[in-house]
Each structure stands twice: as C-alpha cells, then as structure tokens.
Amino acid sequence: MDSPRQIIHLDMDCFYAAIEERDRPELRGEPIAVGGRSSSRRGVLTTCNYPARAFGVHSALPTYQALQRCPHLIILPVRFDAYRYESSRIRAIFRDYTSTIEPLSLDEAYLDVSHHEIPASRIASEIRRRIRHTTGLSASAGIAPNKMLAKIASDWRKPNGQFEIAQDEIANFMLGLPVSKIWGVGKKAAQRLAENGIETCGQLQQKTRRQLQQLFGKFGSELYELSRGIDDRPVVANRIRKSMSCERTFPTNLETLEDRQQHASEIYRELSGDLAKLKSDRPIAKLFVKSKYADFTRSSIERSGMPFSLESFQDLLAEAHQRRPDPIRLLGLGIRFAHPDKTPSQAPTQLEFDWR
C-alpha cells in the first residue's frame, strides 16, 4: 500500500494588510483594510487585518459597509509591486523544499513534500520560520494527506499557527466538521444542505451517493467522497487560472430581459466577491455571459476591452437577449484573465469593482 501523500497548504496571514502594517509601524494595532475606495460606494475591500475583523470587516465587503461597521477604519490603496516582491521571496523559500508548488494567489500555495523523509510538519515549521525571518511576516500552515484537508487545517490555528490532520485521524475529524468547510460548498449549497437537515459531514455521510446525486447532480458524487475526507486532486505545479464565473439555475424560467438584468446584479455581486478574495493582480481580458435555455441548449457571448462593471454585463445581456429572446433557466457571468505574458489594452485593475 502506498504511503499517504504529505501536502502542505501555506497561507500568509492578512498578507496585503500585514505588509502595509510592517512598512508603516505607526499603523500597528489600528484597523486596516486594503483596496476599495473610501470616497465611493463602489469600492470592495481586498483584505483587512485582525483588528478590523473584530468589527465585522472582511474581504469582499463593500467599502461603505466596512466604514459603517468601523468608522475609524484606515483604508489603504493596493501596492501590487510590493506584494509581488514579497510573494516572490516566499516562493523562493518554497522551492528549497519542493518543485511541486501550486500557487492559488500571491499569498497562498499548496506544496507536495511527499518525497521527503522529514515529516511535513517539520518542513512547514521551518518554512514558516524562514518566512518570518526573511520578510517579517507570519504564515499559517495546514498539513494533511490531501489538498482539501490541508487547506481546512491551515485555517484551524490562524494567525501564525499550524495544524496537522494525519491519515488515521481523518474519519473522526470529518464527523463534526461543518459542511461549509468542504471544498466547493458555497453559501447556496450549504443552505440547501441545511434545508435537508445536514449541517455536518457526519450527517452528510448518512446520505447515499445516489441521494446526493439526486440533490446536487454530479457534484453530489463529489460530496459523497469529500464528506469522508477523500480528495485525490494532485498538487499541480505552475497552474494558471484562465477564467472565473458564477452562475445560477432558477426554479422558474426567466422570461424577460428585465428579469435577467435583475438577477444579474446578484450574480455580479457574488462574482465581485470571489474576485476580491482571489487577491490577484492579473488583468481581465474578456467578460462573458452564458445562458441555458428552457430546452437545455446553451449559448454564450463574450467581449474584450470592456470594464469590469455591472453595466458591461447588462450590455452583454441585452445583446444576448436580442439574439435569442427565449426563456432561460440558467444565467452565468464570468471573466477571462489575460495570459501572464500578454497585457490587453484598456484592461482594468481587478480590484476596481463597480459595486451596485
């Protein structure tokens, strides 16, 4: 039998805000947020430090709401050059231990250290010590036999901590784990599970694979595995995310353009939040809208050179509706990132969201 994999998930603690606090010692202990525009209702925060979180401020929160919760919040502009520089120094440390590194953003990555004879927990401790010594920043780590559990574990003792889930601990660990911690389970899926009396992975394990497939389709089969702590995804080096989208299937078909535009604002809000959480400085090359019609046929429309704004998506919706005004049962909004080696003209900074 093969030995379990040793996966580390390294996650910097409040990366952008921590860099700002390090570089401006006078701000230490103050509630700090990065991103957004304090003078506008249209900004969205990228991240914030722990004093700000104590007021209920968090990433992807509209700036005006953040200021309502914490009127003395200090909002700083993003400095991507500084963040990229620190990220490159941190990844150089990773490369001393493994070449199998899968970055998720500037401030977090998976490392596969299965080839080491040294325990992964010792490697994680050493990496975190070196990051602190090199950058003055703290990192948290999760260690587990797979990616899902490693990511869950890295959040277990934040900030500046680490947690390990061993192979023989997985079964007991999963029983009381909230389903919202499972990879791929968002607010909508968690709500639907709760409506079926399922709030923990232990309760989810009581459902058969077929029952979960009836509730969630193909994802139901994945839930059956994930609720048992089974995740076979490999750590993929040099993975580059090409797109991001959010979509919604409706219980009744959307008949008019007005219906589509109304629901598009909700989907846009969700997409904006996901983009803020990604914490990437890659420019957006294209926007797209996809539809699934009542007869289950699909259609999509995309354009380059458009700003990331609700108005842009509404324009695409209007064009899609003009092409085919039939009722739809699914609506999705998405973006395609520019290739790392190519920067499109008129590409907006990702964090300048038009929040409505």
Catalytic center residues: 108
CA-CA distance, 166 to 154, in Å (whole number)? 14
CA-CA distance, 36 to 199, in Å (whole number)? 34
Q: Per the structure block, which two tokens stand in for 94? A: 């990773």
CA 300 distance to own-chain centroid = 24
CA-CA distance, 8 to 203, in Å (whole number)? 28
The answer to whether 120 and 163 are in contact (CB under 8 A) is no
CA-CA distance, 347 to 23, in Å (whole number)? 29
The answer to whether 63 and 78 are in contact (CB under 8 A) is no
- 3-class secondary structure, 257: helix
- Within 10 angstroms of residue 294's Cβ, the number of other Cβ atoms is 12
Q: Per the structure block, which two tokens stand in for 228? A: 């048992």
Report phi then psi at 134, rounded to 5: -80, -40
CA-CA distance, 350 to 337, in Å (whole number)? 10
CB neighbour list of residue 188: distance below 8 Å, 6 or more residues apart: none
Q: What pairs with residue 139 in β-bridges?
A: 12
Cβ-in-10-Å burial (0-12, 13-18, 19+) of 92 comes to exposed
Q: Where are the alpha helices (DSSP H) in the chain?
A: 15-23, 50-53, 63-69, 80-94, 120-135, 147-154, 170-175, 187-195, 201-204, 209-216, 218-226, 257-278, 310-323
The answer to whether 101 and 17 are in contact (CB under 8 A) is no
In the chain, the amino acid numbered 126 is E
